[in-house]
Amino acid sequence: MSKHNVSRRQFLSYTLTGVGGFMAAGMLMPMVRFAVDPVLKADAGGDFIATNQKVSDLTTEPKRVDFTYEQTDAWYKSEETKVAWVYKDDNGKIVALSPVCKHLGCTVDWNTDKSNPNQFFCPCHYGRYTKDGVNVPGTPPVAPLDVYDYNEKDGMLYLGQVKPHKGA
């Protein structure tokens, strides 16, 4: 055992700092954990929401599908409505696109620009996307439209989380 000379003053300052730190931590730890709770809360997402769209009624023409769900925002519950543009591609596969423009977040519409038929069109800054959701080069959007996860149950269309476009 080596001989360390700890002075009375040093010993007192160490013990007081230790005890004081312990007490401060006992106070602050619950408060900090309380404050950061939203970051650590597990994500509840991943549920599919039923729509009123029959899968068999879908054509190759994009159709606007509105669907509502109950959103729980801490103590506030509300009905929220989301929109998807849904169609079947040439292979009969369902494509559900988010209508949120990837430029500045306006809502895109199908086939409303007369000079560029059969494209998704954003009226805010004339952003355009081809039918598969890919942004037309030379227009403001910088990425393709997001895609909804989808599911089919009892012939009805169910939509889930919005994911970035995989193709293109």
Partner 1 sequence: MLNKIYDWVDERLDITPLWRDIADHEVPEHVNPAHHFSAFVYCFGGLTFFITVIQILSGMFLTMYYVPDIKNAWQSVFYLQNEVAFGQIIRGMHHWGASLVIVMMFLHTLRVFFQGAYKKPRELNWIVGVLIFFIVLGLGFTGYLLPWDMKALFATKVGLQIAESVPFIGTAIKTLLAGDPTIVGAQTLTRFFAIHVFFLPGALMGLLAAHFLMIRKQGISGPL
Which residues contact partner 1 (rule: CB under 8 A)? Answer: 27-28, 30-31, 33-35, 37, 40, 74-76
Question: Which residues pair with residue 64 across a beta bridge?
Answer: 85
Nearer to partner 1, 18 or 123 (CB): 18
CA-CA distance, 139 to 116, in Å (whole number)? Answer: 12
d(CA 134, CA 138): 12
Residue 59 or 78 with smaller CB distance to partner 1: 78
Q: How far is the CB of 31 from partner 1 (least distance, A)?
A: 5
Smallest distance, Å, CB 4 to partner 1?
18
Cross-sheet strand order for the sheet of 120-122: 109-110, 120-122, 127-129
β-sheet bridge partners, residue 71: 78
CB of 35 to partner 1, least distance (A): 6
**Of 7 and 34, CB closest to partner 1:** 34
**Residue found under tokens 């007369």:** 114
Which residue, 24 or 104, has its beta carbon nearer to partner 1? 24
**CB 126 to partner 1: min, Å:** 41
Q: Which of 62, 61, 86, 99 is nearest to 152 (CA)?
A: 86
